[in-house]
């Protein structure tokens, strides 16, 4: 099991960075995650630079919350996926993940992924509980459009946001995308295996 370490933009201290570096060096942490929207900052804020440098040093991805938030007190203007483009351009050697495909700004996330080869996205956090039939149909079409636009889905990661979403509903959703088996395997595990260097072998 690998861990992605959440970092509080507002509260991290130098000692936290030293501890994080030790975990990264030991291979215990496989990536970092930031929470713009839940915290009032843009991903391109200069205070993030030290985190991006750390991620590049240890060659791990940075996951960035984008799109809608669970909390009504969050400020979603900070969570627009277009802000990730600035980071991708300024740090071309940094691997980035746009979490939740920027939902509801999926088309904007689509462009950032298409334009920047160092940016991936995941499909987590679309629902609380189970998909309704109508919303599932809507999101299936959204994802099909993204794959059509952005091409071979080497950039797409499976995720659910469990336990607020149920695994079974997400597995059904993914099957509804009607992906070729090779693309399905990329989405379900191969892309994550490569990105996080999990070392999983074919079985």
- Residue 38 sits at φ, ψ, to 5 deg, of -65, -30
Query: Is residue 137 within 8 Å of residue 103, measured between CB atoms?
Result: no
Q: Quick one: pLDDT at residue 164?
A: 86
Of 120, 118, 96, nearest to 36 by C-alpha is 96
Domain locations along the chain: 3-124+138-160+180-195
pLDDT in tens, 116-157: 999 999 999 998 889 999 999 999 999 999 999 888 899 999
Superfamily of domain 3-124+138-160+180-195 in CATH is: Metal-dependent hydrolases (3.20.20.140)
Q: Give the whole-angstrom CA distance, residue 137 versus residue 157.
A: 19
Q: What percent of the chain has pLDDT over 70?
A: 99
Query: Residue 203 above 60 pLDDT?
Result: no
Please provide the average confidence, as pLDDT, over all residues in the chain. Answer: 94
Helix ranges (DSSP H) in 122-200: 133-150, 167-175, 181-185, 191-195
Q: Averaged over 102-127, what is the pLDDT?
A: 95
Q: Which long-range contacts (CB under 8 A, 24 or more apart) does 136-143 make?
A: 136/172, 136/173, 136/176, 139/173, 140/173, 140/176, 140/177, 142/101, 142/106, 143/101, 143/177
Answer whether residue 202 shows pLDDT above 80.
Answer: no
pLDDT for residue 34 is more than 90 = yes
DSSP 11-63: T--HHHHHHHHHHHHTT-EEEEEE-BTTBS--TT-GGGHHHHHHHHHTT--EE
Residue 21 has what pLDDT? 96
Q: Give strand pairing partners of 3.
A: 29
For residues 114-127, b (16+ Cβ closer than 10 Å) or e, as one string?
eebebbbbbbbbbb
Q: What is the average pLDDT across 18-39?
A: 96
In this structure, the dihedral spanned by the alpha carbons of residues 119, 122, 127 and 132, taken in order and rounded to 10 degrees, is: 110
pLDDT(106) > 60: yes
């Amino acid at each position: 099991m690998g861990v992605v370490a959440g970092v509080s933009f507002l509260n991290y201290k130098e000692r936290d960075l030293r501890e994080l570096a030790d975990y990264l060096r030991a291979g215990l942490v496989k990536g970092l995650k930031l929470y713009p929207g839940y915290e009032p900052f843009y991903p391109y804020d200069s205070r993030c630079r030290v985190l991006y440098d750390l991620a590049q040093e240890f060659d791990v991805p940075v996951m960035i919350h984008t799109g809608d938030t669970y909390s009504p007190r969050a400020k979603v203007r900070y969570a627009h996926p277009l802000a990730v483009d600035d980071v991708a351009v300024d740090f071309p050697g940094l691997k980035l993940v746009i979490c939740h495909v920027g939902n509801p700004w999926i088309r904007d996330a689509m462009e950032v992924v298409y334009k920047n080869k160092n940016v991936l996205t995941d499909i987590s956090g679309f629902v609380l509980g189970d998909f309704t039939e109508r919303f599932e149909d809507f999101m299936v079409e959204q994802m099909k459009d993204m794959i059509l636009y952005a091409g071979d889905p080497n950039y797409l990661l499976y995720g659910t946001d469990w336990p607020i979403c149920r695994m079974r509903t997400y597995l059904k959703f993914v099957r509804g995308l009607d992906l070729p088996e090779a693309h399905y395997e990329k989405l379900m595990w191969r892309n994550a295996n490569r990105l996080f260097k999990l070392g999983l072998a074919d079985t």
